[in-house]
């Protein structure tokens, strides 16, 4: 995969793009309204084409658009609600309102997926580790241990079950409840023993010994970053209020109201295109150097 030469928001603290993308994702997921979903989808695709490249965006749409079409087609078949009848497929009635709801939900799913891809292109692994500091190391340790212990537990469970099935000389085969009780007791004993051994091993290596360890911070939170975070918080609060006003006036069932031009869509669109504008400005600045 070709590495991006100049990542947007690279000159600011990692908390700035993290707060921005987290707010955009929250607004996208909770605002089920046709205009708001369309604005979010267009903003996500524009930023993806600019930062990740048109080819990578098209490869993603190759499986995202069929998912959107599947939701559009499946929702009218499983949710026969509405007042505008489009057609009948035997006993199933397909209504315009159900089809519109499926289309909006499919577009919302695609927008969320693309925004996650956009956020991963900006918030690289090293920036996330720098943002989390010591907590990120603890979370990664817990995830790695869970990924290691779950297959081990399943493998031991199959071993206990095979051992109980092989002991045919001890009498008739126990019932399901007795067999599950014996297996869970054996697995619990193994788990407690392993937990003590791992705790001793981690304590011997100085994990959480009490003294806070220092770590290298590639970037520090400056006054400009704090001002950007305050601006993002105010913009998100304003757009959340405008989105609530738009969603409260919209409904899919039993009939859909007419969409009208509203000034409240402009601030929402401006927020959704902030990453694109930042990426374009960063690219122009590097070209001038």
What is the block-wise mean pLDDT of the chain (289 residues), using blocks of 10 residues? Answer: 57 86 94 94 94 90 88 78 76 82 91 92 75 63 71 80 72 71 81 82 71 63 87 95 93 86 93 91 77
Domain contains 187:
no
Convert 203-232 to b/e letters by CB count within 10 Å (16 or more is b).
Answer: eeeeeeeeeeeeeeeeeeeeeebeebbeeb
Residue 196 CA to residue 204 CA, distance in Å, equals 12
Domain contains 135:
no
Domain contains 153:
no
Domain contains 27:
yes
> CA torsion angle for 65, 66, 67, 68 (degrees, to 10)?
50
Specify the pLDDT at position 220.
72
Specify the pLDDT at position 188.
84
- Give strand ranges (E) for 121-243: none
Residue 187 CA to residue 40 CA, distance in Å, equals 48
Domain contains 147:
no
Coarse DSSP helix, strand, coil percentages of the chain, rounded to the nearest 5 percent: 70, 5, 25
Q: What is the DSSP letter of 93?
A: E
Domain total of the chain = 1
Cα separation values, 130 from 11, 14, 123, 125, 278, Å: 14, 8, 10, 9, 22
Specify the pLDDT at position 244.
95
Specify the pLDDT at position 221.
77
Specify the pLDDT at position 84.
80
Specify the pLDDT at position 233.
95
Specify the pLDDT at position 5.
47
Domain contains 164:
no
Domain contains 146:
no
Domain contains 191:
no
For residue 26, the enclosing domain spans 15-130+229-277
Specify the pLDDT at position 285.
77
């Amino acid at each position: 995969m070709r590495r991006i030469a100049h990542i947007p928001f690279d000159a600011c603290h990692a908390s700035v793009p993290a707060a921005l993308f987290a707010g955009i994702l929250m607004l996208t997921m909770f605002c089920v309204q046709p205009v708001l979903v369309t604005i979010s989808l267009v903003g996500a695709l524009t930023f993806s084409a600019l930062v990740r490249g048109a080819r990578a965006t098209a490869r993603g749409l190759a499986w995202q658009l069929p998912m959107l079409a599947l939701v559009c087609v499946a929702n009218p078949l499983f949710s026969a609600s509405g007042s505008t009848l489009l057609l009948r497929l035997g006993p199933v009635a397909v209504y315009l309102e159900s089809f519109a709801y499926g289309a909006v939900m499919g577009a919302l799913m695609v927008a969320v997926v693309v925004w996650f891809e956009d956020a991963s292109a900006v918030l690289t692994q090293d920036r996330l580790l720098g943002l989390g500091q010591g907590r990120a190391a603890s979370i990664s340790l817990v995830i790695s241990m869970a990924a290691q212990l779950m297959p081990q537990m399943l493998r031991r469970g199959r071993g206990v079950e095979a051992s109980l099935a092989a002991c045919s000389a001890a009498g008739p085969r126990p019932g399901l409840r007795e067999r599950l009780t014996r297996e869970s007791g054996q697995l619990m004993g193994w788990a407690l023993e392993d937990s003590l051994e791992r705790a001793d091993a981690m304590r011997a290596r100085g994990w959480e010994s009490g003294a806070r360890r220092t770590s290298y911070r590639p970037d520090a939170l400056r006054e400009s970053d704090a001002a950007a975070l305050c601006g993002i918080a105010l913009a998100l609060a304003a757009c959340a209020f405008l989105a609530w006003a738009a969603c409260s006036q919209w409904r899919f069932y039993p009939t859909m109201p007419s969409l009208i031009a509203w000034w409240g869509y402009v601030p929402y669109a401006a927020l959704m295109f902030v990453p694109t504008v930042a990426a374009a400005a960063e690219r122009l600045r590097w070209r001038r150097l």
